[in-house]
Structure 1
Amino acid sequence: MTKFNLKNIFSDIKFWIILFGILRLYGITNPPIEVAHNWRQTTVCMAARNFYTTDPNIFYPRVDIAGEKSGITGMEFPIFNYLIYVFSLVFGYDHWYGRLINLLISSIGVFFFYKLLLKYFEKKIAFNAAIILLASFWFAYSRKIMPDTFASSLVIISLYYGTNYLEGRNPISNLILYFIFGLFGVLSKLPVVYIWFLYSIWIFSGGNYLRKVIFIGASSVIAGITFFWYYIWVPYLVDEFGLWYFFMGKNLSQGFNESIKYLPEILNHFYETAIRYVGFSMLLFGLITSIIKKDKIIWITFLISLIFFSLIIFKSGKTFAFHSYYVLPFVPVMALVASYGMSQIKNSTLVKIILFAICIEGVLNQWNDFVIKPNEKEIIRLESSLDSISNQDDLIVINSGEYPTPMYFANRKGWVCDNSKLFDKNYISHLKNHGCKYIVILKKSFGSDIRLNYNVLIDNEYFKVYELK
């Protein structure tokens, strides 16, 4: 292969998207028990598995930690969960389909991110921004069984087609694709809606007035459907089926006060987590340079995004501070500004070194997320152990605190609680009255060992099962 051909390959963003995709195939079939947000992944899996085993109605998603109740509850519109269900119809249920689906859609999202930037910036800015995004916090989370990068990618794809429509390119098909991807993106994860406000750049600039009116009309339909799901249907499911599980945010006043209190933790997500230190230093350099050079498209894009993303932060408050993945929808904007900063460096060799450093720092700091600790893996045996003494429809309680992860791997329904609850006679009486038959005590992962005065059915190094009579 000639030097010219290699240069063409290395300068093609599709090569790097595929390469990063292959890297993330390592451990793709791992169960969702990596340390970072296994609880979030298993709730996604619960809904997907229940579509497959119980009821495929997408409007009634279910989780397994509602005790004797149906488990139906309000959550994000479960299109991501439903895709796992669709795969399961063909291949039989397995959790790792979610990893593969997210990786595929998120990789396509990076490609459209590149195509979007290519319309307004030099190729080197679009290329480097896409590479930074690949190595950013997205690296690990785009293969988790979570809808965050999935939804962000759908909205980025929507942004590409939406701007095409506003610019008069093949209007009908672009409007339809904008609507479809935008609708499912925002329904899948409400915070990604902040990206919509970037359309104000096109809406308030010159152009075809009728096209803008049609675009606003289509966007209003998306907003209306989204409002119905989150603010009418989700509360209805909660009221009707008695399980409040989905976090809908706080009032802005409370969230703002919490955000100020936990400001160091919130800022940490941006400079340490999102694109790491080298990438963040390039972001600061790019932002300062864009202001000095009066490059409005950069600093205005960043400012609009930051203002409206701040509303997401204030709505989340303390929850944002202690859930790092909440920053994921903002990472593409950070990658753009960091790439712009790199474009201001004239020494091409230095730029390559910086880009390499960003990639190494990003990937190595997340690689531990691809490895499951031996102690964590033992939770997978929970289902087969319980199958030896009980039926799958027997209700259980697990001492995993608020973590739903063990319940998912038990493939049972029931309750989760901390150890102290299991010494509460009233709580135990409540469990018995509502059909609980077994108590599972986790000894290492997700719980700690305690002694209870009940008949022991299973006792090994990692968990113990009592019969509740």
Structure 2
Amino acid sequence: MSGFGLRPSNGVVLGAILVLAALFRLHDVQQPLVDAFSWREASTAMMADNFFLRSWNIFFPEVSWTGPGPAYQGRELQVISYITALLYAVLGWDEMFGRLVAIAFGVWGVFALHRLIERIWGTAHAHAGAFLLAIMPGAVMIDRSFLPDPAMLSLVTTGAWLYVAYLQNDRIPLLLAAGLITTIGVLAKLPGIAAVVPMTYATFLILQRRGKLSLHRILQILPVALIAGALILGYYRWAHYLGTNYPPYHIAGSGYLWSDGVAKFVSEGFYIPATWKIASNWLFTLPVMIVAGIALLAAPPTTPETAPGRAPWFFHVWLAGAALVYFFAAREIKTNPWNFHIFNVPMAALAGRGLILLSTIGGDQAVGTRSRALRLVAITAVIIIGGSIPGLTLMKTPYADSGHKLGARLSELSQPGDLVVTATPTIGDPVAIYYSRRRGWVFPPGGGENDWSMLLADEDAIPTLEALRAQNATWFGVTKNARDMQRRKLIEYNKALIAHLDRTAERVVDDDTMLIYRLAPRVDAAAN
């Protein structure tokens, strides 16, 4: 680690933290995409498949759950799915590659945070903050998921580290690298824009403290910032164009302040009750929130290590930047909670600060080295046993396992080119289509402004099914536990639809888990 300015002993500590981060993330790495994030993971996995099988154009991400396609969608730059597709091309298809790519970004993110904290608060806090990011359940869960967010957080954290290093030592290559990496991070997922807030704060504070804040220095930074902004704006304008001009006319994300209106957000209390449940149950858990809260009640470190050239409130400002993103996108972030990943950097840094404060209560002279070590071990045990393990157990639960089984059965029954229609434990989750290795539709079909997380009444569901049959849908599969967001089970709520299928299709599978029908050519209205 000497190449990164670390003494050998500190390098050993960092190495141990990185090993721990990898072990936490690699546990259950072979689990299919059936955990709490299966919906979004299946879509990401489909985009990797379609890069590999259909087109390598990264600017046309495509899913497989809206029919034979093409099914381009307005989405973030597909960093993780594209790298995964490249691995498929070199090593052959294996669904585990998506998780491994995400984990690699996640472990690097722990390293980048360590280097960033060391430049802001010193080495001891760097060890503590990186350790917390290594084991925090939300960070671990998201970093092991086939999602774009691990790349986002890793890249913007790396960009922030390099940018702070540039502000401290004036090396232009660091500025250019920071601009490029941060830009790719924000393109990988838009919440990464929150990192720009503490970077802006650091610009003025560090340069002012070093006596180098001048118009000339700002004009040196400004072109990099403008180019980054233009690239980010240009890409997301393209994503909007793609999602509004190509079927199924879908742009990822919804529930923003400007679309829902301030009144809606206020009436829902900015979704704070739901956010608290997410934060306390698995994202941070109460032990981490408590130690981070202690840090928020105290001042940042004021040791000689945080002398001029430092920005002591950097992580507080990052937390404020993340809160600003939440203010404008509260419903979207609450509904798709992996978007909270941008909060994990400031929470880990602050929790690390709280960990150090707790270990030294009573003053350095009153607390011996052995006592401090015992305190750290005890607090760490509480965090891991009382927070990380329960949080990860909750989120790794195979909620979509029957959807995975449905997809695997459809893969066995169908032929290449067959189109499938599926309804899985969570209505709208495309996990069964992914594991069928076919293209098709979720039921009800998704895309555009449709809410495909809700079941249709039978008078609408039957014509919808017939419209899909007219588009050459060959198979219809439903898990017997398929429910919508109102907890209505399809096989109970849509009894007329099931009866219609029994009249017009062949029931091929009927077991404890699923129903699968082979669809005959479309029947005309008279036959109904």
SS in 1 for 2:246: helix
> Match of 1:328, as an amino acid?
H
Tell me the residue number matched to 1:164: 165
Corresponding residue for residue 90 of structure 2: 90
Matching residue of 1:398: 422
Distance 2:73 2:376 in 1: 49
Aligned: 1:114 with 2:114 = yes
Q: Is the 8 A contact 2:50 2:63 kept in 1?
A: yes
From the superposition, tell whether residues 17 and 370 of structure 1 become closer, same or farther in structure 2 (CA, over 3 Å): farther
CA distance 1:204–1:141, shift in 2 (3 Å): same
CA distance in 2: counterparts of 1:292 and 1:160, whole angstroms: 18
**Correspondence for 1:4:** none
Distance 2:386 2:14 in 1: 20
Unaligned runs of 5+ in 1: 1-6
Distance 1:258 1:88, change over 3 A: farther
User: For residues 291 and 214 of structure 1, do their structure 2 counterparts lie closer, same or farther at Cα, with a shift above 3 Å needed?
Assistant: closer
1:334 aligned residue: 347
Return the TM-score normalized by structure 2.
0.79
CA contact (8 A) 1:179 1:219 kept: yes
Aligned residues: 460
Match of 2:517 in 1: 466
Q: CA, structure 1 residues 376+306, in 2 after alignment: closer, same or farther (shift >3 Å)?
A: closer
1:358-410 CA distances to partner (integer Å, 9 max, x unpaired)?
Answer: 2333331234268665x954544545543454322222211232111111111
Query: Which moves more between the two structures, 142-151 or 309-318?
Result: 309-318
What's the CA shift string for 1:122-172, capped at 9, x where partnerless? 322111111111111212221111121221011111111112222235322
Of 450, 462, 471, the match for 1:434: 471
State the secondary structure of the residue aligned to 1:438: strand
Q: Percent identical across equivalent pairs?
A: 19
46-55 or 401-410, larger mean C-alpha shift: 401-410
Distance 1:381 1:200, change over 3 A: closer
Report if the CA contact (8 A) 2:407-2:436 is conserved: yes
The residue aligned with 2:330 is 317
| SS, match of residue 307 in structure 1 | helix
Partner AA of 2:477 in structure 1: V
Out of 218, 221, 226, which is 1:215 matched to? 221
> How far apart are residue 10 of structure 1 and its match?
9.7
Deviation digits for residues 71-97 of structure 1, max 9, x if unmatched?
Answer: 111111111110000100111112211
Q: Which runs of 5+ in 2 are unaligned?
A: 1-7, 361-366, 445-454, 484-488, 521-528
Partner of 2:273: 264
Which structure has the greater CA radius of gyration?
A: 2
What is the match of residue 79 of structure 2?
A: 79
1:308 and 2:321 equivalent?
yes
**Aligned letter for 2:387?**
G
Q: Could you tell me how far apart the structure 2 residues matched to 1:203 and 1:337 are?
A: 21
CA–CA separation in structure 1 for the residues paired with 2:252 and 2:267? 20
Structure 2 counterpart of 1:358: 383
**How has the CA–CA distance of structure 1 residues 324 and 59 changed in structure 2, closer, same or farther, with 3 Å as cutoff?**
closer
Structure 1 Cα separation of the partners of residues 275 and 395 of structure 2: 25
More divergent stretch after superposition (74-83 vs 132-141): 132-141
Change (3 A) 1:218 1:66: same
The residue identity in structure 2 corresponding to 1:176 is L
Most deviating of 123-132 and 360-369: 360-369
Q: Distance in 2 between matches of 1:258 and 1:181?
A: 39
Q: Which residue of structure 1 lines up, in the alignment, with residue 437 of structure 2?
A: 411
Cα deviation per residue 1:151-198 (whole Å; 9 max; x = unaligned)? 1011111111112222235322x1232133112111001001101111
How far residue 42 of structure 1 moved from its aligned partner, in angstroms, is 0.7
1:394 partner letter: D
Matches within 5 A, 1:190-269: 190-205=190-205, 206=208, 207=212, 209=214, 210-252=216-258, 253-254=261-262, 256-257=265-266, 260-269=269-278
Amino acid across the alignment from 1:213: L
Alpha-carbon contact 1:16-1:131 (below 8 Å) kept: yes
Deviations for 1:335-371, whole angstroms, at most 9, x for unmatched residues? 2122222333424132332233223333312342686
Q: Quick check: 1:376–1:445 contact (8 Å CA) kept in 2?
A: no
Given the superposition, is the C-alpha separation of residues 159 and 228 from structure 1 closer, same or farther in structure 2, using an over 3 Å criterion? same
Distance 1:227-1:343 versus aligned 2 partners, 3 A rule: same
Distance 1:428 1:24, change over 3 A: closer
Q: Among 462, 469, 478, which residue is 1:425 paired with?
A: 462
Separation (CA, whole Å) in 2 of partners of 1:54 and 1:258: 45
Residues 53-109 of structure 1, C-alpha deviation per residue, up to 9 Å, x if partnerless? 111111111101112431111111111110000100111112211111111111111
105-114 vs 116-125, greater mean Cα deviation: 116-125
Cα deviation for residue 256 of structure 1 reads 3.8
Q: Is the 8 A contact 1:65 1:416 kept in 2?
A: yes
Moved more, 416-425 or 455-464: 416-425
Alignment of structure 1 residues 43-82 onto 2, 5 Å: 43-82=43-82
1-structure distance, mates of 2:438, 2:76 = 23
| Whole-angstrom distance in 2 between the partners of 1:182 and 1:171 | 15
